[in-house]
Structure 1
Amino acid sequence: MMAAHDLWKTLEDLSEEQFKQFKWFLKQDDIPKGFSAIAVARLEGADRQDTVDLMVQKYPRTGALERTMSILEEISRNDLKQRLFNTLNSRRKELKNHDSAPLNCEYGRMKSKLEKTEDEIKLMIQERQKKILEINSSEEFNSKSADRHIADSEQVYAVMQQSVIDSLAHLNLAIKEKRETTKKQAKGFIQELEQEISELTKRGAEVEQLSRTPDHPDFLQNFSSLNAIPPTKNWTEVSVTPASYGGSVGAAVNQLVETLSKEKEKLIAKFKLRRVQQFAKDVTLDPDTANANLILSDDGKKVYCGDAIQNLPDNPEIFNRAINVLGKESFSSGRFYYEVQVKGKTSWDLGVVKETVNRKGSISASPDNGYWTICLRKGNQYNAHAVNLTVKNQPEKVGVFVDYDKGLVCFYDVDSEDLIHCFTDCSFTEKLYPFFSPGRHFDGKNATPLIISPVNYND
């Protein structure tokens, strides 16, 4: 067995820097192959003698020697390696029942080469396993996307089908009502005619009977009352005009087309919002960037402007005049989305900014200055870099979506699912941070906080 003295003598010939490197290799697993690491805590502060003791305990038989020789080669002390190898040869006869092959320089060189080949193969396997995971993840995402599109398509067609059914039902009802109106009119005319016929028939019978009566004292008196024809309507201009149903059908079809168009737009807006909501990220506020007027909640989800200025250090990241704060999380690729409750506020700014934006003094929030934001002013004025925005309803929750690679920043009214505004063809060259400004206090009129809300997305 290799004497600990020989190992110690070898380590004594190492410089301090080489000895430091030697101990670093002892902390690594599988360097060389098949050897486990010595615990960092045990090697910390160990001198050369302590290190030899740890190696002898950790690696029995010739293990300590083999590990030493391998590390000596790594740190370019092949002279010491050769000396140890010669020592091993001189002690080989002392080893009994040892089933390992004799060591020699050629064997060590070939073994080292094989180990490197093995490491390369391992790395290639790992890279391919990683690629499999990447492909599986992409396929899973694609499969879920297909399922969502199928479900959305079924919903669209179900809504359209129901609209057609409802439209047809309303059309049929209108036609039936017209038919009933015409039928009721005809029935009324017939009843009047039958009543006149009845009266005329009765008068005719009376006249006929009187005409057959012989001379009678009452003849002249009865004649004067029966000679006149009962009053009747002039039916010459009376007719039942057939109802026009074509106009009803045309109007119903036009109304159906308009309804389908509106439903289509609503569903498309809904599905577009759902598409971006799947990229929701957990965003929190960064107190190290917050203006001294701002009050942040402990969980970093709420911010509002207080009525007093806090005494904060003027570090480079803080906004020292503008009432702004950034999110902690940064993004430099891919897509991300978050939602902010703005209900009850009369002024706010939201969006994203690049990492190097000016945070001192007066700020002009424009894309040229690294700000992709929209804002509310005076309770009802919405703007995006001096462009007035038209909103159907006053948003209570705003969604912010960024596609870094496509240069896209979009804002949504989450409740109505309408698109508020989009910045397109943006040129992103550095990290982006979520941006928030709850606006000034305005004597309590704008004291409601901005609240980063969990995204209610049903996958």
Structure 2
Amino acid sequence: MSAVSCLLTEDQFLCSICLDVFTDPVSTPCGHNFCKTCITQHWDINVPYKCPNCKDVFFTRPKLQVNTFISEMAAQFRQSAQQKTSSSSSEQQVSKPGEVTCDDCTGTKLKALKSCLVCLASYCETHLEPHLTMSGLKRHQLIDPVENLEGRMCTKHDKLLELFCKTDQMCVCMICTYSDHKTHDVVPLKEEYEGKKAKLGKRDTEIQQMIQKRRLKIEEMKRSVERSKKDADREIAAGVQVFSALKESVERSQAELIDTIKEKQRETEKQAEGFIKELEQEISELEKRSSEVEQLSQSEDHHHLLQSFPSLNTAPPTKDWTGVSVRPPSYEGTVVRAVNQLEETLSKQMKKAELKRVQQYAVDVTLDPETAYPKLILSDDGKQVKHGDVKKNLPDNPERFDPCVYVLAKQIFSSGRFYYEVQVKGKTHWTLGVAKESINRKKIIQLSPQNGYWLTCLSYKNEYKAGTRPAVSLFLESRPEKVGVFVDYEEGLVSFYDVDAAALFYSFTGCCFTQTLYPFFCPCVNVGGKNSAPLIISPVNHTE
């Protein structure tokens, strides 16, 4: 029996009414088998009596007897199925909280693999088998496992919600289209699903792009934080160095002040010691003379007294001390002078420290001949420019200045900080700074921030000015021979330094840079050779 059963398939022992293994199988006159309860209930409802499989009609209700052979075979298959279920249950995943469970599992609930929209049930791998093998069940619609399958049925008509009403934006059944949604725009659920899925795909793409942008923004912020940390570390190191130098200066000035005061005190003491020594010497001489006079006055030798009297009657030579005194030295103004000197020293050190701070952003700058006014003469290395008397025949490209006596650097800057130095020694007038990319190069206009220029200059009237509107006169303590230009793009700052004096002499603040910036140079015209010296882009020698 066991060998024969191995040749049979399980669907040969399934009742086509309940779709389960036969229970008390009976045979109809046409030869088909059913569960006794299933066929009995079927014929109780349906008259005339028909075979559910072949549709043969029986005019009298057949008398049914349990087929013992099929019953035994079915019992073996049921036992085998239970063993298989038990075995597969151990291999299949037991459902976890939140997962959909199999509705047919009677013991340990296994994780459902699919849900059937026809049966309104969810099945694990074992209980899903009939839907994958039996022809009648293969037509059922299977979906990924979901809870609350009853929610997919129309509560009004108890039919599957297989349509979508676009008018009311809701799922409906077929009967709904003949009643409440008769005139509405109704489409198959799958069609609306595909449309919505496409929109979700588009939305997901947009979301992914938003995620990517935010990730890039995070990376940008991390880079900013890292750059900020490096700047902070650099500033701390520079600050510690400056304050250490200031501390040394203060301690040195304090020591010098103490030495100065002590030296005055030592001189006073030395003077007093000299006077005291001299006075003590005179006192000694006077005491000696007093002793001699006392001895002579007590002598009874008339001759001796008379002989010695002339020499002892006069006091020994002494100094007139009436106008002599030791006056304490005056310390008035000593501390003030020391503090003033210290302030001057500290001011110089602070200026050097500030210049050293910006010099760390030094960049290599070279002149761009494509932008140079045709009368300008540039050195081969692009580091010098001066005005010539002959206008060269050069292409009038859009980048070239004409009729303005200007030239730009090749390098452009659109972020961060940069610094460069230019020698102006020997020049009677010049203009330096930075300019934005979109400046008008074919027209003479006022050089001001409003027109895209941030500059300082030595004018023809021998005056230093900042290129504002109106121009601001600058009063410099010394005549710069080398000018440093520093730009902080994000901070909106352009500063100018007298390098040799380590002095900041002007800053444009609160600038709003939106374009790339170019270092700007104007050597100005020769003025009969008086201004023939070139502007020279110099290497930065970091201030000690």
Query: For this structure pair, what is the TM-score category when the shorter chain's length is used for normalisation?
Result: 0.5 to 0.7
Match of 2:482 in 1: 397
Alpha-carbon offset, residue 453 of structure 1: 3.4
Q: Compared with structure 1, are the counterparts of its residues 233 and 282 closer, same or farther at alpha carbon in structure 2 (3 Å cutoff)?
A: closer
Mapped pair 1:417 → 2:502: yes
CA distance in 2, matches of 1:365, 1:267: 34
Alpha-carbon offset, residue 227 of structure 1: 2.1
For normalisation by structure 1, the TM-score amounts to: 0.63
Structure 1: unaligned runs, 5 residues or longer: 1-108
| Residues 149-158 or 126-135, more deviating | 126-135
Output the aligned Cα RMSD.
Answer: 3.9
CA deviations 1:63-119 (Å, max 9, x no partner) are xxxxxxxxxxxxxxxxxxxxxxxxxxxxxxxxxxxxxxxxxxxxxx9xx99999998
CA contact (8 A) 2:367 2:382 kept: yes
Match of 1:155 in 2: 241
Alpha-carbon offset, residue 129 of structure 1: 6.3
Mapped pair 1:227 → 2:309: no
Match of 2:435 in 1: 353
**Quick one: which amino acid aligns to residue 172 of structure 1?**
I
CA deviations 1:330-349 (Å, max 9, x no partner) are 44555443332323333221
CA distance in 1, matches of 2:466, 2:299: 105
Match of 1:367 in 2: 449
Match of 2:389 in 1: 307
**Quick one: which amino acid aligns to residue 343 of structure 1?**
K
Match of 1:270 among 352, 355, 361: 352
Q: Compared with structure 1, are the counterparts of its residues 225 and 259 closer, same or farther at alpha carbon in structure 2 (3 Å cutoff)?
A: closer
CA distance in 2, matches of 1:328, 1:280: 15
Match of 1:321 in 2: 403
Match of 1:5 in 2: none
The SS at the match of 2:458 is strand
Alpha-carbon offset, residue 236 of structure 1: 6.5
Mapped pair 1:453 → 2:538: yes
CA contact (8 A) 2:297 2:305 kept: no
**Quick one: which amino acid aligns to residue 285 of structure 1?**
L
Mapped pair 1:185 → 2:185: no
**Quick one: which amino acid aligns to residue 452 of structure 1?**
I
For normalisation by structure 2, the TM-score amounts to: 0.54
**Quick one: which amino acid aligns to residue 174 of structure 1?**
T
Alpha-carbon offset, residue 263 of structure 1: 4.0
CA distance in 2, matches of 1:364, 1:171: 54
Aligned-pair identity in percent equals 56
* Mapping 1:60-139, distance limit 5 Å: 130-131=216-217, 133-139=219-225
CA deviations 1:408-455 (Å, max 9, x no partner) are 322122333211212234455544432111122344443332233344
CA contact (8 A) 2:376 2:387 kept: yes
* Mapping 1:158-173, distance limit 5 Å: 158-173=244-259
CA distance in 2, matches of 1:356, 1:126: 32
Alpha-carbon offset, residue 151 of structure 1: 2.0
Alpha-carbon offset, residue 266 of structure 1: 3.3
Match of 1:434 in 2: 519
Q: Compared with structure 1, are the counterparts of its residues 176 and 447 closer, same or farther at alpha carbon in structure 2 (3 Å cutoff)?
A: same
Q: Compared with structure 1, are the counterparts of its residues 297 and 115 closer, same or farther at alpha carbon in structure 2 (3 Å cutoff)?
A: farther
Match of 1:207 among 290, 293, 309: 293
Mapped pair 1:146 → 2:232: yes
**Quick one: which amino acid aligns to residue 435 of structure 1?**
F
CA distance in 1, matches of 2:308, 2:199: 145
CA distance in 1, matches of 2:477, 2:459: 16
The SS at the match of 2:401 is coil
Q: Compared with structure 1, are the counterparts of its residues 447 and 208 closer, same or farther at alpha carbon in structure 2 (3 Å cutoff)?
A: same
CA contact (8 A) 1:160 1:260 kept: no
Alpha-carbon offset, residue 291 of structure 1: 1.0
Alpha-carbon offset, residue 262 of structure 1: 3.2
CA deviations 1:377-418 (Å, max 9, x no partner) are 469532223432222332232222334454432212233321
Q: Compared with structure 1, are the counterparts of its residues 135 and 259 closer, same or farther at alpha carbon in structure 2 (3 Å cutoff)?
A: farther
CA contact (8 A) 1:337 1:401 kept: yes
CA distance in 1, matches of 2:254, 2:479: 35
Q: Compared with structure 1, are the counterparts of its residues 153 and 199 closer, same or farther at alpha carbon in structure 2 (3 Å cutoff)?
A: same
**Quick one: which amino acid aligns to residue 368 of structure 2?**
D
Mapped pair 1:383 → 2:465: yes
| Residues 122-131 or 172-181, more deviating | 122-131
Q: Compared with structure 1, are the counterparts of its residues 383 and 120 closer, same or farther at alpha carbon in structure 2 (3 Å cutoff)?
A: closer
The SS at the match of 2:525 is coil
Alpha-carbon offset, residue 265 of structure 1: 3.3
Q: Compared with structure 1, are the counterparts of its residues 210 and 332 closer, same or farther at alpha carbon in structure 2 (3 Å cutoff)?
A: closer
CA deviations 1:266-306 (Å, max 9, x no partner) are 34433433444454444332222211111223343322222
The SS at the match of 2:395 is coil
Match of 1:69 in 2: none
Mapped pair 1:297 → 2:382: no
* Mapping 1:246-261, distance limit 5 Å: 248=331, 251-261=333-343
The SS at the match of 1:195 is helix
Alpha-carbon offset, residue 354 of structure 1: 3.4
The SS at the match of 1:451 is strand
CA distance in 1, matches of 2:403, 2:528: 18
CA contact (8 A) 1:380 1:394 kept: no
CA distance in 2, matches of 1:114, 1:412: 60
CA contact (8 A) 2:494 2:509 kept: yes
**Quick one: which amino acid aligns to residue 247 of structure 2?**
Q
Match of 2:283 in 1: 197
Match of 1:340 in 2: 422
Alpha-carbon offset, residue 310 of structure 1: 0.7
Match of 1:62 in 2: none
